Structure 1
Amino acid sequence: MQKQKQKKVNNQSGAAMLISIVFFLFISLAIISGLVSPSIREFKNANVDLNSKKSFFLAESGSEDAFYRILKNKIIGTSEIITLDSNSTTTTITTLESGEKQIMSLGDVSNYQRQTGIKLSAGSGVSFNYGVQVGQGGINLSGSGTVNGNVYANGPITGDSSAIITGTAISANSPAILANQSNGSGIPSYDVAFGNTTNTQDIAQSFQVTTESPLNKIQLYIKKIGNPSNATIKIVNDANGSPGTNILASGTLSSSSVSTSYGWIDVSFTSNPLFNVGTTYWLVVDASSFSSKYYTIGASNDGYINGIGKIGKVGGTWNNTIPLGLDYYFSIYLGGLTGLIEGNSHSEWNQLHVGTISGSAQAHTVNYTNATGNIYCQTGTGNNKSCVSQTDPTYIAFPVSEANILQWKAEAEAGGVYNGNYSVGWAGATLGPKKIIGNLTVSGGGILNVTGRLWVTGEITLNGGGTIKLYSSYGSNDEVIISDDEVSISGGGHASGSGVEGSYIMMFSTSTESDAMLISGGAGAVIAYAPFGTITISGGAALKEATGYRIIVSGGSSITYESGLTNNNFSSGPSGSWVVEEWGEK
């Protein structure tokens, strides 16, 4: 039998190939890793750089937003948070000891933070940021009176259903309540009984205030005998050294709030009249007469220098006190009123219109108002929207300071003094800088070309087609004409800048009267300014900006704000707003 051949299998076959493949694989992975790792690092670095840049631009957005709000006098807190695409920037605004403002904005994107900062200083000048800025006297619009722009008031904003404010309307709370006039403390030297006989039925105390501000309340240091009836408290005018008959405000002294021992009793009023500095007013307590039920008020002898006490009867005879020269214990409180925006109709069907183009209504109390934007208030009724709660707007100062006024007057006087009334007729004239001790009248179609600042100690009257305009050399700059008395523009009277866009003329009155500025059926490129008195705009008059203690707009008149007013350039002096001192990353 043939011996079978045995075949030997080589178990090591292919090992070299496998080793080669594995080796090649490791080499490939090493090469790939070497190529991919830098790419991954670059991707991570790019992502960090992107987030860092996002954080920087987010911080810049916060700084710019705060700067814009400050520049435009918009409401902004000391700290603001802006969120964009789930990322945020926190902006803080700090007022430094020097009066400068520091804006710091910290951007945060995926925990990558960048911070930018701006330092602002106040510019030496005037910046008008509202179509109307009004003091504690407030503004009232009626008869299709219109403000094309924003309104900021340190007093009430009221109007009828035909009135329109196209932008935002803000009524701020007035300054904190303050006892402007007061007499008496401690145990009274004298006790004066009243309401016990006909001849001593009522008492009255005269006074003068030192600050123009609305009446808030009064206090009396008083007690009662028995249980007298309530008494009426009145604020009236002066009539030859005695109380007059013109009632400015009234309130009620509740007998139940008065005890048989002396105490200070508050009395509030149904209206809040504005008091003029240097004007005598009377506080009158009008009581009933009953021999066993009456009041007693504390008094001192010559303790109060701005008035005097009297006793008698309302509608009858007023007599001096016994002894002569007594002053009652009293206090007059001014200010402290909350902001108010209200439709005069007191009807939800005839509301005051605010923000007809774009804007909101902002005040502590908003009543009978129709707003396109939000209504920010603490209380409200009869509105087209519910209140959105936010911090009440705060008092802001007027853009022109007393120092500005004194500087302007000095610059006018430096150009010489004209004694007597100055009249311009059809022949026209060129004038300025100059101080006029007398009145200034432009009428009969005449043109007064202004070549410098003017200060008129008397009245300024512009009527009969008369024109006051700035000389062409002013270019885009502005000028101010000051009157220490009434300014009247009527009968086609017109005032304007140089004719170059952005040039304005400011008609300025320092009068404290209710007729400080009367503008009817005229105006032009005019800024009307009466910080201590009332501006009345009627008869279809049109002007560019108005700032006054009180403003009344009626008869189809309008105020149309222009953006150029945010930075007025007067030929000397004011030029306005905040100046950037520093801006960069911190």
Structure 2
Amino acid sequence: MLNLKSKNKQSGFAALYLAILVLAVSLTLTASIFVLTSIQQKNIQNNIKSSQSYYLAEAGLEDAILRIKNAMPISSNYIIAIDSGQTAVSIASPNPNIRIIRATGTKGSVSKTLEVQLSIQTINPEFFYGAQAGTFGVVMENNSRIEGVAGQAGNIYSNGSVTGAPGATITGDVFIATGMSEDQSHTLYNNNHIFGKDNPIIDVAQSFKPSVTDKLVKASVYIKKVGNPDDANVNILTDSAGSPSKTVLAQAELEKSLVGTSYGWVDIVFLTPPDLIQGTTYWLSIDASDDSNDYWVWGKDSNQGYGNGLAKYVQNWNSATPLWLEIVGDLNFKTYMGGQATFLRDVVVLGDAYANTITNSQICGSAYYQAIDAGSLNFLNSPSNPTCPDPLTPGTAYPETADPPLQNMPISESNINQWKEEALEGDILNGNLVVDSDISYGPKEIDGNIIMTSNNKILTIEGTIHATGYLDVSNGSSIRCSPNYGLNSCVIVVDKWAHFENNGAFQGSGSSGSYIMILSTSDCDGTFFAGCTHHNAAMDLHNGATGAIFYANDGFIYLHNGVIVSELTAKKIQLEQNAIIRYEQGLVNSSFSAGPGGSWKVENWREVE
């Protein structure tokens, strides 16, 4: 009986113990679930706040980008309150063409920071000379001058002859390059060839056979870029069993600044032109770097229509045993052979003169030439006042000097096509733009003409303008860059002629180093009149326009009596009597952007913390 009671007590204790244990475990599990649930709810809330903070920061970036792109008022630091959260925005400006925007969105105790970098896309042509002429050269009438501002020297570079008249004066140096003519070319474009992006298509080459024995002075390629590749080496190579050899006859540089994001012809000048033999195979080769983000695209004809050559590629042309592989198609190219004599005639040069032939000219510096007449040589050896300034020092003669090499024009067709693309960022105007009141305009493509013949009207450029017709400015009307361009310069591109008279005026943004450029793609070069302005020209200037650049790569610019401009570049330039080109040194560093709004591009967008 006692044993039975003892066993019952033990069983009851065990049951109680088990019940307590189960309860403890249950309580522990309940507490754990409660804690885990609380943590999960807190994490969910934090995730929600984190997402809200991210979107708040994103909203801050978008607000700042909108203000910057549209030139709206904006502070370097400001706060935006949105519902129960806020965004703190800060803007740094390392230089005038870069903005770094940082936005911190905060919701409760949770913050997210995003950063974006904006940059202005610019084209930076280098205007080293007061005047730069193409193959048709320069004509200077009585007492016309090419000089620098405030008594500085004004230099000129011409790919054609320079002729003058009594009193025609160049206050700096004159360079007259060797003459040339186009020889081989294949311009049919129907496909793209990417190189410098992925192995093994890194280096490319196109073969050709010259039709004459002469010096190769220039080549041109139809090309565009993706991203911002480094400058590439261009080689002229001999042939080895139907592929490029490693024997370099000449080398030049494909300058990335001359290549745009749209196709265009880009010139490559050989400073030491190689001697090529008629009917012999040579290779025009481009040596690129491999970069999947920054690379080149060369236009080609997939039908292999060029009968005097073929195209090939290789990973590294200068490796021990390069294995060149054939490209299906011929690459678009042109070659130019030299040998045509150019000359300087009837001009006073206060600096040095470089030309194949010098006649009837008064040179106060030194002379570099192949031939010179007795009168020019006598003056060189015994200069006199008032033609030359004191102190009078005899110049040095350098006979049998090689002709100066051709000089690339500062702006390529590819650059121009990029500006035309930028103009398309705005709407297209079908018809003429008639400026009969003060307006701000751009970016815009105008399928027509720009007419500014009303009295004293102002056209303010807010973005690149491209007109498929002509530009006519007169009666005191003016064109200027918006102040929002800052240190950058603006451009108007017209496909036909441009005419300026009766005190038409031009101005940059108002900041030092800002200019306006008027660019015509017309091929009116003075040899025909159909579709041209006065004097069969692409541009006709009747009045002064300091602070402006006038550019007609394929055309003729005529400068009237007494007109003063800052810079001219054209296939042919003519200065009427007393006309002056007065070069400004700041033109070397001019930067042309698409405009104060449309030109800002997002370079990167990232979460900082």
**Which TM-score tier does this pair reach, normalised by the shorter chain?**
0.3 to 0.5
Taking structure 1 as the reference length, what is the TM-score of the superposition? 0.47
Larger radius of gyration: 1
Taking structure 2 as the reference length, what is the TM-score of the superposition? 0.46
